[in-house]
Amino acid sequence: MIQLLPNYTTAMNTLPASGQSRSRSRLGCLTQIILIFVVAGVVMVAFFAVAAPWAFYMGGRFHLVPQWQGWGRLHSNSAGGDYALYVTLWPDHGRFRQLVYVTGTAVVCTPRGERFVLTLGGGFDKPPARDLNGKRAGLYMFNRNFKRRYAGGSGRPELELRGHWSNPDLVGDDDGSIARNFDPDARLYPDGKSHPYMGEVSPVTLHEGGMSGFEAACRAIQNH
């Protein structure tokens, strides 16, 4: 009699376990995804190095990533007190004219402890090379959360910053936008409520720094 069982058992032992195969497949997919992101990042940095070299020197010093982060405090008597503002800027590669354009995000913290995450855009005078020091800056920030995007909201708060680079800081004022958006109790004006377009103008200096400085400023405002 021919015995097939031992040979069958040996063959089965040589097959990879299904769990191991799935694990290797997942690891391979994850590695490919990571490589795609790494290559895309390198290509993007190389593009900005040629098209927007100033983006690596915002604030007057070299950044490996073409990005600048800063925060500051501003005061408005007509809008309830002190506010903290945090911005993250990076180059907008879609437009190259006599200005240099940026996009990014912003967070504003109110005296009531409320926070608004905003979409940011704007631009600076185009530098002859990489140095933005002394160049004019104009930034706008508006609310693009789900409710305001799809439920017909106005996009407020809509904030502005007008000023110039004074390395390493971005120095300017809010062009009256805090007072346009917040009432004397630091509450956001309801949509459609009339209020003066041009009121108190609040100066602000954004210092280069991370989120930890902004968080400390927010706590100080709420405890004031």
What is the domain extent for residue 163? Answer: 55-223
5 pLDDT higher than 80: no
Q: Which of 18 and 81 is assigned the larger pLDDT?
A: 81
Selection from 66, 143, 63 nearest residue 102 by Cα: 66
In a domain, 49, yes or no: no
Residues 28 and 96 in one domain: no
Residues 32 and 119 in one domain: no
In a domain, 127, yes or no: yes
211 pLDDT higher than 80: yes
Residues 61 and 91 in one domain: yes
2 pLDDT higher than 50: no
Q: What's the domain count of the chain?
A: 2
In a domain, 117, yes or no: yes
Residues 104 and 188 in one domain: yes
- Mean pLDDT of the residues in the chain: 80
What's the pLDDT score for residue 199?
82
The pTM score is 0.75
Residues 17 and 77 in one domain: no
Residues with Cβ within 8 Å of residue 159, at least 6 apart in sequence: 85, 106, 108, 118, 140, 141, 142, 174, 177, 178, 181
